[in-house]
Amino acid sequence: GAGVSQSPSNKVTEKGKDVELRCDPISGHTALYWYRQSLGQGLEFLIYFQGNSAPDKSGLPSDRFSAERTGGSVSTLTIQRTQQEDSAVYLCASSSAGAVGETQYFGPGTRLLVL
């Protein structure tokens, strides 16, 4: 595809509900990253997928957060029992081979608001 796409662009949910965020990486990119960005703050790494390897989940803030990447392409980030502090922009990025330091191409993000 032309770039990384994410859906939905905005999501408003009630505290305690589950949400699913979707990321479509650039076609052919084997590495996929999820980040979180709270208002006025920097990027917080969440999870990293590289090919068929086990994902690096070291950034997930709690066991309410999980992510999958099916078929080595599309990824879904799931947040269960959402809390107000989960409100943030969730950014997805992909890179061609996941080489260390390789340029990452970002999607526009999903803005999540938990009421």
Partner 1 sequence: GESVGLHLPTLSVQEGDNSIINCAYSNSASDYFIWYKQESGKGPQFIIDIRSNMDKRQGQRVTVLLNKTVKHLSLQIAATQPGDSAVYFCAENISGLIWGAGTKLIIKP
Judged by the rule CB under 8 A, the positions of this chain that interact with partner 1 are 4, 38, 40-46, 48, 56, 58-59, 91, 93, 100-101, 103-109
Output the six-digit token pair for 45: 């790494």
Q: Are strands 5-7 and 19-24 parallel, antiparallel or unpaired?
A: antiparallel
Q: Given the complex with partner 1, which of 19 and 89 has the nearer CB atom?
A: 89
Which residues make Cβ contacts (< 8 Å) with residue 94, sequence separation at least 6?
4, 23, 25, 26, 29, 31, 32, 33, 104, 105
Q: Given the complex with partner 1, which of 45 and 68 has the nearer CB atom?
A: 45
- Least Å from the CB of residue 101 to partner 1: 4
- Least Å from the CB of residue 109 to partner 1: 5
Classify burial at 71, counting beta carbons within 10 Å of its beta carbon; exposed 0-12, middle 13-18, buried 19 or more.
exposed
- Least Å from the CB of residue 83 to partner 1: 17
Q: Given the complex with partner 1, which of 4 and 114 has the nearer CB atom?
A: 4
